[in-house]
Amino acid sequence: MRQWSSFSTLLILLVSQCFYAARPVDAYSDSSSDNVVVYWGQASAGSQEPLSDYCQSDSVDIVVLSFLMTFYAADGLPEVNFANACSDTFSGTTLLKCDQIAADIQTCQAKGKKVLLSLGGAAGSYGFSSDSEGSSFATTLWDMFGGGTSDYRPFGSAVVDGFDLDIENANSIGYAAFVEQMRNLYSGGDYYISGAPQCPFPDASIGDALDNAWFDFVFIQFYNNYCGVNNPSQFNYDSDWQAWVSSTAVNKNVKLYVGVPGSSSAAGSGYTTPSGLLDIMNSISDKSSLGGVMIWDASQAFTNTIDSSLFIDGIKTMLGQVGSSPSSSSHPAASSVSSSVVATTSSEAAVTFESLSISQVAQNLYVDSAATSSEAMPDLPTSSIAEPTSSSTSTVELPSSSVVEVSTSSLAPSTSSVSDLPSSSDDPVSSSTSEAPLSFTTTVTQSNRYTATEIQYVTVTVYPGDITSTYTSVSTMQPTSASASSSLVASAVESAAGQASVVVDASNPSSSSAETSNTADCSTLTGVELANCENAYFATLSASSTCTDGAIGCVEGFFAKCDGSSWVTFSCPLGTVCTALPNGDTAYAIVTCDTEDDISRIFGTSSSKKIRRRNVSESEELERRSMVRRPHRHHAHHRRSTF
């Protein structure tokens, strides 16, 4: 009897071990703050391993498949792209049929990893024209990749654990409805919705969805931006994103992830080592919203070796140390519109415009056309202000014939004042601004009582009566006690590999100091007519055309800024061209880079040259993913047409 009992016990133990071995290992944890998310599929390092290989690592908790980058291809179906990992298609379509990825998804899930499918990316043709379109598309994706049924299932019987919105084209229409419908379809299952906004807040592309729909995860891209982890003083997890969770987020238990590049070649800026990230993570370790770290991408994180350890493993180890020891330094968060700004410039960091590199200037830009009158500006102290290292002055004519003096300096504090601008003037001093640190700054005073102190930001002011002469760059410091409604937001221009956009105010007068032979009067136009007028003018420009210093426009398809009297051009992201776009029916236009498909939809014309997404080569993928992200625009200027 005793022998039988021992045998029975042994048998039960063996069966139990087999049972538990067959169960998924718990990797991702809802309650943990040390989860690691990796994007996979674009081989940004130049090559990549099969999905299942990365899921063997205990350092990976969530894998995001990237990307579904075309919502409506010529055959009416979506298109996915996973670089060299999949090439078969469904007969008669361009939709990939990925049997190996399907098997790998199930392998990952068996190991307790969550697998999401990401929509969007830095390049692609995607977007909705209405909420109903977004809702309908959610059902389509549920049937093709989720728990529904369809004749076209790229991953066969494999079911993804959710969907991620990496939307980067500044068209926010329909995504809240998409999420709402997807969650209706999720009923009864364990599925997730995530978003991947860029760190400038609010996000131009999915800010509306984040405010109005339920998200489980938010993978914030703290790279390729002024608020990246490489710039701790501007790191805005607490000031913007945690504040959003507390005040606006539909899901108060949403988890925020700090997004970082997997190596120095994975992004234009923002890379830091795992040990270098520890202080940042310690500074937010007390936030219940913290979910962990997101990495772009797997191919980079698994080939980047630091002190004989893979970057991915270093991140996982670092997360285990977060909160266990005090941070060696504190990192103030970036100020919001309504908070004070402190001068941080240094003459030691001064560089000229000609020498700016991708690592020296801001990667993203957003615009805010809030007009500022002088009556809202309080006095600021003028003591202990250093002289600028270099300066120059120019004047612009306002409707009241008042003169504003603009003093430009190279990264050194300065002040300037003006006596003729009426203190009660209702005329806007600045019609648009953009946000991020730059390597050069300017200072402007706005009334006889208001003295602005220079800070490490730039403000772009546009007066497009005469296009080439009407873009004037100035900078301003936000006064400590100024209200949010009357304050300017500090901001920046783009770097060499990226793009920028500015809002053009056609209602403001042109600069009185303009000197150019190429002019175009668009000042009486609005909406599409204004954008067409500007584009017609841009079409006459060439790299050899003269221009007015500070002007911004499009030259031979490139985004261009005038330096002195010569155009300096910046490459647009792959598949896009520079253009002026209407901002609804307002007297504002946006100069930016966009795809020809989007441009055609906005202007209501058919595109003569369709830009279609294809299976690009690894070198092209690396080039594309290394490019600067699309520009961030302020919520107040979103257009209701596709953008």
Catalytic annotation, residues = 168
Task: Quote the Cα angle for 220-64-96, to 5°.
Answer: 135
Q: Tell me whether strands 62-70 and 35-40 are parallel, antiparallel or unpaired.
A: parallel
The distance from CA 562 to its chain's CA centroid, rounded to whole angstroms, is 25
Collect all residues with Cβ–Cβ distance below 8 Å to 505 and sequence separation of at least 6: 369, 428, 431, 432, 462, 463, 464, 587, 588
Tell me the sheet residues that pair with 554.
Answer: 559
Collect all residues with Cβ–Cβ distance below 8 Å to 632 and sequence separation of at least 6: 170, 198, 200, 203, 204, 225, 364, 365, 366, 435
Task: Quote the Cα angle for 154-160-162, to 5°.
Answer: 125
Q: Which of 534, 565, 535, 536 is nearest to 548 (CA)?
A: 565
> How far, in Å, CA of 353 to CA of 361, rounded?
10
Tokens of 393: 């002055």
Cβ distance 333 to 237 under 8 Å? yes
Within 13 Å and on the Cβ side, how many CA atoms surround 210? Answer: 33
Alpha-carbon dihedral 356, 360, 364, 366, rounded to 10 degrees: -80
Provide the terminal-to-terminal Cα distance of the chain, rounded to the nearest Å.
78
8: three-class secondary structure by DSSP: helix
Cβ distance 506 to 522 under 8 Å? yes
Collect all residues with Cβ–Cβ distance below 8 Å to 552 and sequence separation of at least 6: 460, 462, 471, 493, 500, 502, 559, 560, 561, 562, 591
Distances (CA, A) of 294 to 58, 88, 139, 217: 15, 30, 27, 11
Distances (CA, A) of 499 to 68, 204, 480, 496, 593: 23, 15, 31, 8, 7
> How far, in Å, CA of 299 to CA of 446, rounded?
51
> How far, in Å, CA of 411 to CA of 346, rounded?
5
Polymer length in residues for the chain: 643
Distances (CA, A) of 544 to 523, 562, 641: 25, 11, 34
User: Exposure of 73 by Cβ count < 10 A (0-12 exposed, 13-18 middle, 19+ buried)?
Assistant: middle
> How far, in Å, CA of 68 to CA of 385, rounded?
53
Q: Which of 456, 461, 436, 454 is nearest to 372 (CA)?
A: 461
Q: Tell me whether strands 192-195 and 162-166 are parallel, antiparallel or unpaired.
A: parallel
Backbone angles phi, psi at 469, to 5 degrees: -100, 0
> How far, in Å, CA of 520 to CA of 337, rounded?
34
Distances (CA, A) of 550 to 460, 461, 469, 472, 493: 9, 10, 8, 5, 10
> How far, in Å, CA of 367 to CA of 588, rounded?
11
